């Protein structure tokens, strides 16, 4: 079993978010995708968190439904 498989879902999600958000924010800043101010960077990070959370929640609900469907099929047999 991989060490990462033993991490909690929250720890895995936090690590994934940081590994994604930090480089993305740096690249966005360097390439002028966000205003070069504290407020501009903060606003872009907030938008990034909201979009990430929405996608994460959608993926979580979808996976949970698929797992429930598989469990229901197993219990019928």
pLDDT band of residue 4 (cuts 50, 70, 90) is confident
- pTM, two decimals, is 0.81
Q: 45 vs 26, 31, 40, 48, 67, CA distance in Å?
A: 11, 15, 9, 5, 32
Instruction: Report H helices in the chain.
Output: 9-30, 38-76
Under a CB-based contact definition with an 8 Å cutoff, are residues 37 and 72 in contact? no
Under a CB-based contact definition with an 8 Å cutoff, are residues 52 and 16 in contact? no
Is residue 3 pLDDT above 80, yes or no? no
């Amino acid at each position: 079993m991989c060490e990462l498989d033993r991490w909690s879902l929250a720890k895995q999600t936090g690590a994934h978010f940081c590994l994604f958000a930090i480089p993305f924010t740096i690249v966005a800043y360097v390439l002028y995708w966000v205003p070069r101010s504290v407020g501009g960077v903060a606003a872009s990070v907030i938008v990034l968190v909201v979009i990430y959370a929405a996608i994460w929640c959608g993926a979580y609900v979808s996976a949970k439904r698929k797992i429930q469907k598989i469990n229901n099929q197993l219990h019928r047999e």
